[in-house]
Amino acid sequence: MIRSGPGRYLFLALVALLFLFLLGPVLLVFPISFSADSFIAWPPSGWSMKWYAAMLEQPTLGVALRNSLILGSIVTVLALAIALPAAVALSRGTFPGRDAIMAGLTAPLLLPTIVLGLALLIIFVGQGLIGSWPGLILAHLLITVPYALRVLVTTLGTLPASVEEAASSLGAPALQVFFRITLPLMTPGLIAAAAIVFLVSFDEVVITLFIVGPHLTTLPVALFRYVESRTDPLVAAVSVMMVLFTLTLVVVLERAVGLRRAIGGKAG
Amino acid sequence: MAAEAAPPHLELHGLEKRFGATRAVQALSLSVGKGELIGLLGPSGCGKTTTLRMIGGLMPATDGRIIVAGRDVTALPPHRRDMGIVFQNYALFPHMDVAQNLSFGLEMRKIPADERQQRVQRALAMVRLEAFAARKPRELSGGQQQRVALARALVIEPSILLLDEPLSNLDANLREEMRNEIRDIQQRLGITAVFVTHDQAEALAICDRIAVMRAGVLEQLGTPFEIYERPANEFVAGFVGRVNRAAGHRGADGRLLLGDVVLQGTGHAGAGPVTIMIRPHRIRLTDTPPEGIGWNSATGTVTRRTFVGDLLSIEVALGPASLLVEQHTFAGAVVAGPGDAVRLAWRAEDTLVFPASPAGVFPAPPAGVFPA
Ligand SMILES: Nc1ncnc2c1ncn2[C@@H]1O[C@H](COP(=O)(O)OP(=O)(O)O)[C@@H](O)[C@H]1O
Ligand SMILES: [Mg+2]
């Protein structure tokens, strides 16, 4: 670590530059959203709130937002319902192929999303799932369950087995041990998993692009479509709302459970 | 001791645990009387925890049977064994306060709420933690957590109490206090208990009987007195208490030789190379050694003298061997220093003789005192 002298300032400058590079585009969105122009330009010729007003009057984006929120909520509940028993089985059970199953279940994280999207398109077309709620939910579960599983397996891995053993020695059958001991102790991990699943679902574009239909679309996809045809600062206003929403969720999460602790650590 | 005469309450018959090729516990048989506190003593990795976990049902036995009060519990899951377990890391429920921790086992037994509360209060009083009922475990000191763990295991009035190195996470002076507290409570309740420890002093201090284990095998089962004074083999003698260890020889005529000194000893009588073990504090430095049968004496040269306040440690070279002699100090005592010739005397019954161990069993130096 550089502690003093000009090296220290150079180091700080480098860090600042890096932050600017990573966050610059996001930060730029904020002033542009207050632009009075009718196209995206820098610097704006004037300032106004009109794009925020326009946002509220945009029916497609409003519906898409509602869809994204509904989708995110359903996917969060289902992803946890699937990942929780799987995580318990994977981290408490001892059976052959345990590690292989864990690897298989987290594999979608490593696949290029475009490949996943194409694969889903091919499968869904035949089943009539394109542009349908079940199709969207299935696709988002495929992407989010691995995240939930990783977080929950990590959580379970940090719970000392002896606490559960103590409960069973005190007379608690397996289900009681789970509901009275394991589950309450998993709360931080469950909250973290829920937030991550929701954010991933809320943010997902690539795979969703393949399977949305004319009557059912999500906010990120609607935004993507919007900028294909127009380049007004409305998207900037929407982006600001999305950034603020995501940030709020992350901050609340960090305060509540310590996000880094919940998602960090080893998976097995 | 009285507890020995009690009818067996816990019996292990040929208990065995294998992990792949590792035989963590081998054909372990012993029986524990009602109200008896039995210690499982041995070095780390000798199978103590594994044994305890099999008794508590936390780990299936590979072979053998576990009988409690005449009933075979080998196949029962832990929640139906009625045993209270105190874990090394306490394993308190972090999301419950002290009273809830204690109440949990009673709820599982469907004890009505008012009786539950009374029993929790009594248990808290027993470990002197009445004022801490509403604290969370993380708000307690190590010693207090330990007492909560003990109270939680006892409040259900289990048929057997199992303790796995319950004191190893406490600092030294608290450890001594807690071990006496555990012993007091155990005797007051008259509960059968199995106490796992690797600390021989702890085991000697509070156990009715001690089972000394090594590498999954029961080496000796006996009262603390028997274990200390009549160790069954070189391992037990070396593990329990401090002891000098020297290579000797017993001739075909039965004469026991340490170098060229003829000794009288107790134990192994077979001819051939032997190991002679003598506890340091049983050897006296004296100008007038007691004569006659029952006493050994020899002359050696002091090689080192260490003053540690209440004790004086003197190392004496005696032929090929080096013996450590420990003497309690008193003001005005005249003691020998390095280079002085001294006369040593000790009793024949303190001269433990064992067949010489095969090379490699003890990596310690071939002679001297151990544990160091
Ligand atoms: N779950 C396990 N899997 C494999 N080997 C184990 C397991 N538990 C214990 N062992 C082995 O069994 C032996 C006895 O362990 P343990 O009963 O914990 O010893 P102690 O409590 O006396 O220190 C050790 O060699 C240990 O490595
Ligand atoms: Mg152990």
**What CA–CA distances, in Å, run from A256 to A114, A151, A185, A192, A264?**
34, 16, 14, 9, 16
Q: What percent of chain A has pLDDT over 90?
A: 30
CB contact under 8 A, B94 and A171: no
Q: Is B209 in the pocket of ligand 1 (CB under 6 A)?
A: no
Q: Is the dihedral of CA B46, B50, B54, B56 positive or negative?
A: positive
What number is the average pLDDT over the span A97-105?
81
Domains in chain A, CATH or no CATH each: 58-229 (1.10.3720.10)
CB contact under 8 A, A170 and B105: yes
ipTM attached to this prediction = 0.84
Higher pLDDT, residue B191 or A261: B191
Say yes or no to pLDDT of A186 above 90.
Answer: yes
CB contact under 8 A, B85 and A169: yes
Q: Which protein residue's CA is at the shortest distance from atom 8 of ligand 1?
A: B50
Distance from the B157 Cα atom to the nearest Cα atom in chain A, whole angstroms:
10
Ligand 2 centre to CA of B51 (Å) is: 9
Q: Which residues of chain B are in CATH 2.40.50.100 domains?
A: 243-364
Per-residue pLDDT 10s for chain B (372 aa) are 444 455 799 999 999 999 999 999 999 999 999 999 999 999 999 999 999 999 999 999 999 999 999 999 999 999 999 999 999 999 999 999 999 999 999 999 999 999 999 999 999 998 999 999 999 999 999 999 999 999 999 999 999 999 999 998 888 888 888 899 999 999 999 999 999 999 999 999 999 999 999 999 999 999 999 999 999 999 999 999 889 999 999 998 889 999 889 999 998 888 899 999 999 999 988 888 787 788 999 999 999 998 888 888 999 999 888 999 998 887 666 678 899 999 999 999 999 999 987 654 444 443 445 543
How confident is the model at residue B369, as a pLDDT?
52
Q: Which residues of chain B are in CATH 3.40.50.300 domains?
A: 10-228
- The string of pLDDT tens digits covering residues A200-234 is 999 898 889 888 888 888 998 988 888 888 888 88
Residues of A near B (Cβ–Cβ under 8 Å) read: 160, 162-163, 165-173, 176, 180-181, 184-185
What number is the average pLDDT over the span A130-144?
92
Higher pLDDT, residue A129 or B216: B216
Q: Which CATH class is domain B10-228?
A: alpha beta
Q: Is B48 in the pocket of ligand 1 (CB under 6 A)?
A: yes
Say yes or no to pLDDT of A173 above 70.
Answer: yes
Q: Which CATH class is domain B243-364?
A: mainly beta
CB contact under 8 A, A169 and B83: yes
How confident is the model at residue A263, as a pLDDT?
52
Q: Which residue is it, tokens 């929120």?
A: A69
Say yes or no to pLDDT of A261 above 60.
Answer: no
State which residues have CB under 5 angstroms from ligand 2, the bound ion.
B 49
Q: Which two tokens stand for residue A49?
A: 């709130």
Q: Which protein residue's CA is at the shortest distance from atom 27 of ligand 1?
A: B45
Instruction: Give me the residues paired with residue B325 across strands.
Output: B314
CB contact under 8 A, A170 and B81: no
What number is the average pLDDT over the span A111-130?
87
- The string of pLDDT tens digits covering residues A46-60 is 888 888 888 888 888
What residues contact A238, with CB distance under 8 A and at least 6 apart? A55, A61, A219, A223
**DSSP string over A172-231:** --HHHHIIIIIHHHTHHHHHHHHHHHHHHHHH--HHHHHH-BTTB--HHHHHHHHHHH--
Q: Which atom of ligand 1 is nearest to the CA of B46?
A: 22
How confident is the model at residue A258, as a pLDDT?
64
Q: Which atom of ligand 1 is nearest to the CA of B17?
A: 12
Nearest residue in A to B101, CA atom: A167
Residue A81 phi/psi, 5° resolution?
-65, -30
Q: Which two tokens stand for residue B156?
A: 């259900």
Higher pLDDT, residue B138 or A43: B138
SS3 B25: strand
Q: Is B45 in the pocket of ligand 1 (CB under 6 A)?
A: yes
Residue B222 phi/psi, 5° resolution?
-175, 175
